[in-house]
Chain A
């Protein structure tokens, strides 16, 4: 009896100790558990194992990663953070401020990350001037996905400004189709709102009002104009939209039930899976009035301080691998986004991705490259949450544009 319980104790203890003694390991927290995403992660694992770094998967499912973040917080507070975790945008700064993140600046220096990444992206990856995170991809959020068949039947043309959008959408609605496929969830409402902000106000206004949170810009006539256009869109959405998932809305465009959807480039995956060809079966264009702009949503891994020197080495190997052109290509082909690093071979990517890459480079030069506030890239979670609340409440009620602006200013101010 005694023997048995001692044996059990030893076994239990060794389970606890084992992960600490094992050499050169990365433990990676992420929430890429479905389809193409899971495949992309598996590829990174394969590459690292080829280099003798073992991979301990720490996947916590749940779309937006809230569950994963809750787990991460408890692990970090108890002094046992993973090697790397999927964290993006200003949250990287918040974790940095709390002192949890490890600098991988030497890897970045040797591999010249500063020249590989556009400044706006590398700024997000740095805390206190040092790289603490590595970007894996770039999503463009300001896309309009359209079914050309529906447009032809309705005698409409694909809109390039919001004023035109309203004209064309009316034609489509009169022809008996749903003009705008939309899922009434807060983040989707915010995604459309963001497209309107960018299309109506332009990148400069966007940057001032929704990134720098300049109260003067936020409390301006332009904001009211944005709300007016955003309010007009209510009539083009069908009554069943509240609560609908984004991919269901996408399938409405695919089936020809609806004409358009405003959604980031992850929607492309749905078209491709349905066997549709870009350019002929579906059209991807910049959302109205934003052809020279690019709202980016960059997924990244942030690196946590490690005490074990072997694990530090493994961490750096992982950082280097993530920005390697090989991984960037495979990962982004799977996920529908474009590589974060510039100057890569593009032949395997489709035309939508080519458009995205061109816009990424050109908008970076003209100042049209802006972080997406609807996807947690521009402002803290508190502020983006406040914007979500106002946008979703406005879109689902018949609040006036002036009132919408007032609510937005008040909400942002109290969340800052």
Chain B
């Protein structure tokens, strides 16, 4: 009897030790194959002359040379810089301001918070389509203001090659700043009240206590927000597709749109794969320093 019980507990122990691993195994396997496996696969493809289907004839860096000789890729990359910078900066600013205002213990906070957060629940395709109508000169803002009697009013960013990329910034900021606000709000709620009080006792006004005490405490939130926003920026695809279709011409293309067009519509899989690799490096350039600082932080702790 006792032997039996002992045996059973042995199996239970074993199970307990192995169960987490067994349960995690399929996910790990799927991650290794579907994420890292395909990253390697894409990397390998970018060195081949693949056109419509994968072809294993290696051509060195030819596809990368072609990629960087392509004026459309230049446009896409510089758009990403403009879009990424403005999108992250404006979303952070608006999100932070909204969070600070909401944190003033105002009435109806729950309702207002939901209103600001709500755009996040809408997909980028819907956002893009709605803003396409709002910004269309013949349908949206321009027509509205003209109908009010200001017949000289012009607002045609959507159809202007130089300005089209900014319409994407507008729509993306509209969509994401509520989410940033939620992150900051959570951060603000976590700030120890006694610190703020101490600052007040030391004679700091509201502005000073935010600038010198609270914002430095929120640094990790800034960090996470920037990482999340920058990967949204790099993988932005559906918003461009819905809002401008990359146009006018290809003036508002982003790298993800470029990659899709070349890999799937134009049977130039090699160039598509090369552009995907460049995008990956872009993400890594942001993620690696972040992970490094995070890991270093936890080691020290």
Binding site for B on A (CB under 8 A): 64, 66, 69-70, 73, 76-77, 91, 94-95, 98, 184-186, 189, 239-243, 380-382, 385, 389, 392-397, 407, 410-411, 414-415
Task: Give complex CA distance A57, B249 in Å.
Answer: 36
Q: Which residues of A contact B261 (CB under 8 A)?
A: 385
Nearest CB of B to A248, in Å: 11
- A98-B52 in contact (CB<8A): yes
- Contact partner, A94, options B51, B70, B251, Cβ 8 Å: B51
Q: Does B156 contact A (CB under 8 A)?
A: yes
Does B266 lie within 8 Å of A243, measured CB to CB?
A: no
- Contact pattern, B 173-210, Cβ under 8 Å of A = 1, otherwise 0: 00000000000000000000000000000000000000
Taking residues whose C-beta sits less than 8 angstroms from the other chain, chain B's interface range is 20 to 34
Which of B152-182 touch A at CB < 8 Å? Answer: 156, 158-159, 161
Known contacts A184-B247, A186-B247, A381-B52; can you find 19 more A-B pairs with CB under 8 A? A66-B264, A70-B264, A76-B53, A98-B52, A189-B249, A240-B159, A243-B244, A381-B265, A381-B266, A381-B267, A385-B262, A389-B250, A392-B248, A392-B249, A393-B250, A394-B249, A407-B71, A410-B69, A415-B268
Which of B159, B161, B268 has the most chain A CB atoms closer than 10 A to its own CB?
B159
State which of B8-16, B88-96, B131-139 sits at the interface with chain A.
B131-139
Q: Is the CB of A240 within 8 A of B248?
A: no
Closest 6 CB pairs of A and B: A396-B249, A385-B266, A396-B248, A240-B138, A242-B248, A393-B249
A-B contact count (CB 8 A): 92
Q: Across the interface, do A397 and B249 meet the contact criterion of CB distance under 8 Å? A: yes
Which residues of chain A are within 8 angstroms of B52 by Cβ–Cβ distance? Answer: 73, 91, 94-95, 98, 381
Cβ-based interface call for B43 (8 A): no
Interface-centre pick from B156, B158, B247 (highest chain A CB count, 10 A): B247
In the docked arrangement, what's the CA distance between A95 and B52, Å? 9
Q: List 17 A-B contacts (CB under 8 A).
A: A70-B264, A73-B53, A94-B51, A95-B52, A98-B52, A184-B247, A189-B249, A239-B137, A240-B137, A243-B245, A380-B267, A381-B265, A385-B266, A389-B250, A393-B72, A396-B247, A396-B251
- A389–B132 contact, CB under 8 A? no
The prevalent SS among residues of B at the interface is: loop
User: In the docked arrangement, what's the CA distance between A6 and B9, Å?
Assistant: 34
| Closest residue of B by beta carbon distance from A69 | B264
Q: Considering only CB atoms, which chain A residue lies closest to B246 in the complex?
A: A186
Give the secondary structure class of A's interface. Answer: helix
Question: A394 vs B248: C-alpha distance in the bound complex, in angstroms?
Answer: 10
Residues in B69-99 with C-beta less than 8 Å from chain A: 69-72
User: Given contacts A239-B156, A392-B250, are A414 and B70 in contact (CB under 8 A)?
Assistant: yes
Contacts of B159 in A (CB 8 A): 184, 239-243
Inter-chain contact A185/B137, CB cutoff 8 Å: no
Q: Does B66 contact A (CB under 8 A)?
A: yes
Cα A66 to Cα B266 in complex, Å, equals 9
Give Cα A242–Cα B243 distance, bound, in whole angstroms. 11
If A240-B138, A243-B132, A243-B244 touch, does A385 touch B249 (CB 8 Å cutoff)? no
Interface contact A382-B51, CB-CB below 8 Å:
yes
Please report the C-alpha to C-alpha distance between residue A133 and residue B245 in the assembled complex, in whole angstroms: 33
CA distance A95 to B53 in the complex (A): 10
Determine whether the beta carbon of A382 is less than 8 Å from that of B266: yes
Name the distance in Å between B242's Cβ and chain A's nearest Cβ: 10
Residue of B nearest to A73 (CB): B53
With a CB–CB cut-off of 8 A, which chain A residues contact B71? 389, 393, 407, 411
Distance (whole angstroms) from the CB of A408 to the closest CB of chain B:
11
Could you say which residues of chain B place their CB within 8 Å of the CB of A241? 159
CB <8 Å contact, B268 and A385: yes
Minimal Cβ-Cβ distance residue in A for B70: A414
Q: Which of B257-301 contact A (CB under 8 A)?
A: 261-262, 264-268
